[in-house]
A and B are shown apart, each in its own frame.
Chain A
Amino acid sequence: MERLIIVVAVLPLISALFIQLFAGRFGRSIARLSVAMTTLSFLLSGLLLALAISGSETLAIPLGSSVAVLLFDPLSTLLATIILGISLIVHLYSVRYMAEEAGYGQFFVLLDMMTAALLFMVIAGDLITLVISWYLVGVILYFLLGQDTRSQTAYRFAFWTLITYRLGDLPLILAAALLFNAYDTWSLTIIFSEVMANPNAHQVLGLPLTDVVAGLIGLAAFARSAQFLLHTWLPYTMDGPTPVSALMHAGIVNAGGFLINRFAPVFIHSSEVLHWIFIVGLITAIFGSLLMLTQNDIKKALGYSTMGQMGFMIMECGIGAFSLAIYHMFAHGVFKGTMFLSAGGVINHAREDDGIPKDELYTFAVEKRPNKVTHPWLLMAAVTLVVPLVILVFAHLLVSEDYFQKQGAIVLLFFGWVTGAQLIFASYKMRSQNVWRLVGLSILSLLIVVLGYVFISHAFDQFLYPDAAFRAQLYSAANIDSLSFDVLVVIVTLIIVSGWGITYFSEQHGHRRVQKSKRLWLNFYALISREFYVSDVYTRLSRTLLTMSSRLNVWLRWL
């Protein structure tokens, strides 16, 4: 039964081949074949997922006598089902959405090839299949983004994506070559079992092999998941068709999280790499969110929002919460896919009627007219700070008593606490006849979200990493020494609480900014509006390289 995973991956390929050969004969109705094949593949993957949930053993399935191996395990079955679910929605949406576009058949060929490449990527049981599928995802995405072959702009930004993805391929290829040289096999299961048995058996340039490979895998993941400095392609690739944007933001961009999860046994035995991953994720989350808030182009704002979310996902890996990153990937995929696919409908509807109710939320969020706070501040502060903490601690105690022994878990709790407190803090300032009702509703929604999040992520944890000792190792690999951790917690708490204090104080006493701070603020805004000059630097660098290439050709007389 587990061998059905081969059929799951091959069905989209068969569909692509059939459409390529017979699109001329069957016309636009050929899209139905693509939808049917994806549906069948999705149902089969669902069946395999059920099998994995019921406790079927991990199985490496060789493809004939080649080195290629497919892997039936919780991670591959779960991600195959998610990929096929999103792909099916995108297929269904595209049947009508792309009907007026040229290259209709070709679009479905590419869509099926992309689905197949993603499937082979997540179920690859050997390094060769993984490298090939990882590489092909970038190439196919380039052509999907350039579906409109009239648009120079679409191709320009598709090229940015391609070159960033190719940059991300290189560390993965290096990591694969190093692992093959060390263990003389391409099989991931054999490599991982040998790494677990003797993690310090090999060295590269005087460094432990596990550290070097984990670092390279991290770099590959950063390029694929648009981490800071490798992010510029993401907000600009909106000229591609909407279904491609949905597929990209809901699925493809998450590949970094998958890759880190796949190499979890290597990360367990790497010393500092997870800390670096956390820092890169944190920087990406901050910069992505900051840039999202300052965009006046909604599509770019969505792009930066995805960047911020990818930062959070990578951060979760950095604190050892690997399975949470997969849950985040799934939740964000569904959320962002829905946003992209419904965007056209919303714009159409808004043209007829803006439909914005002039209610409390509108006056607060859009008109930016907060309510003057008149409630006892001590009570408000207590509710703001204590209630989210109680909810979070209570929810986490329900799933695991030793939860608070893990530093990664404390970081997540801290993050949840800050977010929850921010939500309640904001709700005081909304214009409402009954502010306590509003606060009550906010707390209720926080409670539902936290309970849902905690239980589902716990279920993901149990499913993806059933071995409790392995889960504990993941968290401990991300640990830092207790003193540094406690100092960091205190510093970050002080920064956040003083931020709240400053906000509260300035709203109580009006916005009186001196000229100097205003100028500083404007400079900061200019920096953000130029997106920290990252794209400008890359453009300058590539122009320099092209000029050099051109001069070399002239000097060497084109020979």
Chain B
Amino acid sequence: MSDLLNILLVGIFLPLFPMSMVFNAILENIKPSGLRVIVFMLWPLIGLLIALNSDLVIPDWLLPLALSTSLLYAIRMLTLREVNQWTGFLATSIWSLLWLPVIEGDSAELLYSFAIGMSVPLVLLVLLAAGLERRFGAAYTGLYGGLARTIPRYAGVLVTVVIAAVATPLFPTFFFMLDMVVETISSTPSAALALLLIWLFWSWAGARLIQGLIVGRASNNKIADMKVTSISFYSIVLVVLMLGGIYLAGAIL
């Protein structure tokens, strides 16, 4: 019984449906972007901390549930238009997959590296969504569009961050997904196929998000583009992420 309760508790932080709804409900009620950043950074780490320190006995149904949760949120992302909500769903879809290395018994160091590497692009996306809200009043796809013409520097950074978040090479989430496919293909081929499907839906949702924001004619209003210092900040974080991804690849592949 206590095992089940433990799993339910961890299932809030390493999302398992329906406990996954807790995270998204909390996220919806947090407005300050600084607080959101903290939540995005700490949430999976809390889950891992509890999971690694509570001698969990993993039941057989956990793997299918984790994969189904991830798949469910990946499918639901396809029609989301609000960027914060989209980021929350992507986080839910990604973090629920952290159950796989937990089940495989990967080292704590590796698990924390995965969690941080996969959460940083989400944090950047939260910051960018806040920037859009400041400029346009909402971070919403299909509402204004044309960011590539209106604020090209901002659009460039946004596109790169979305690409990093949806597991594109050479970012950490890509190597995590590749590692998970390699680890599951022999023991549970169906899990490997599910992972690939989830990965495909992330790309699909990412492309829809990008198209809804950057494509279209330039706005007639003068909107401030991203400052050079901010671009430097995002660029440095993305380069570090990429190097981290390559380092992670060296460790796991």
Contacts and interface: CB of A to CB of B under 8 A. Distances in A.
Interface of A: 65-67, 102-103, 106, 128, 131-132, 135-136, 139, 142-143, 146, 149-152, 155, 159, 162-163, 166-167, 170, 173-174, 177-178, 180-181, 186, 205, 545-546, 548-550, 552-553, 556, 558-559
A173 B146 CA distance: 34
B6 interface: no
Contacts of A65: 250
Contact of A150 (B152, B156, B216): B216
Nearest to B215: A155
A233 B165 CA distance: 25
Contacts of A106: 156
B76 A552 contact: yes
Contact of B196 (A103, A155, A173): A173
14 contacts: A66-B246, A106-B156, A131-B169, A139-B168, A150-B216, A159-B208, A159-B211, A162-B203, A162-B207, A174-B181, A174-B192, A181-B182, A553-B76, A559-B28
B100 interface: no
Given A135-B168, A150-B146, A548-B75, A177 B181 contact: yes
A159 B207 contact: yes
B216 A181 contact: no
B24 interface: yes
A264 to B, nearest CB: 23
B127 interface: no
Interface stretch (B32-40, B53-61, B77-85, B114-122): B77-85
B181 A155 contact: no
Nearest to A134: B169
Contacts of A180: 182
Interface in B159-209: 159, 163, 168-170, 174, 178, 181-182, 185-186, 189, 192, 196, 199-200, 203-204, 207-208
B148 interface: yes
B180 to A, nearest CB: 10
A319 B153 CA distance: 51
A131 B178 contact: yes
Contacts of A67: 249-250, 253
B149 interface: yes
A74 to B, nearest CB: 27
Please classify the interface of chain A as helix (H, G, I), strand (E, B), loop, or mixed, using the class held by over half of its residues: helix
A106 B214 CA distance: 15
B192 A177 contact: yes
B185 A174 contact: yes
A149 B76 contact: no
Contacts of B203: 162-163, 166
B229 to A, nearest CB: 15
B47 to A, nearest CB: 18
A151 B215 contact: yes
A553 B82 CA distance: 13
A273 B76 CA distance: 37
A545 B204 CA distance: 12
A546 B182 CA distance: 30
A163 B204 contact: yes
Nearest to B205: A549
Chain B contact surface mostly = helix
Given A66-B246, A67-B250, A552-B76, 8 more contacts: A103-B148, A128-B178, A131-B178, A149-B215, A162-B203, A163-B207, A556-B21, A559-B28
A181 B215 contact: no
Nearest to A178: B185
B169 A135 contact: yes
A150 B25 contact: no
Nearest to A171: B196
Contact of B215 (A150, A166, A178, A548): A150
A553 B80 contact: yes
Contacts of A545: 75, 78
B169 A174 contact: no
Given A136-B169, A162-B203, A558-B85, A552 B215 contact: no
B149 A150 contact: yes
B217 interface: yes
B72 interface: yes
A81 to B, nearest CB: 25
Contacts of A546: 78-79
Interface string B198-238: 01100110011001001111000000000000000000000
Interface in B40-84: 72, 75-80
Contacts of A205: 189
Nearest to B78: A549
A205 B182 CA distance: 16
A181 B207 CA distance: 32
Counting chain B CB atoms within 10 Å of each CB, the highest count among A142, A149, A162 belongs to A149
Nearest to B147: A149
Contacts of A549: 75-79
B169 to A, nearest CB: 4
A77 B119 CA distance: 40
Q: Lowest 9 A-B CB distances belong to which pairs?
A: A149-B148, A559-B21, A132-B169, A549-B79, A177-B185, A549-B78, A550-B79, A559-B24, A177-B182
A552 B75 contact: yes
Contacts of A136: 168-169
B215 A152 contact: yes
Nearest to B218: A150
A558 B249 CA distance: 35
A170 B192 CA distance: 10
Given A162-B203, A163-B207, A548-B75, A170 B196 contact: yes
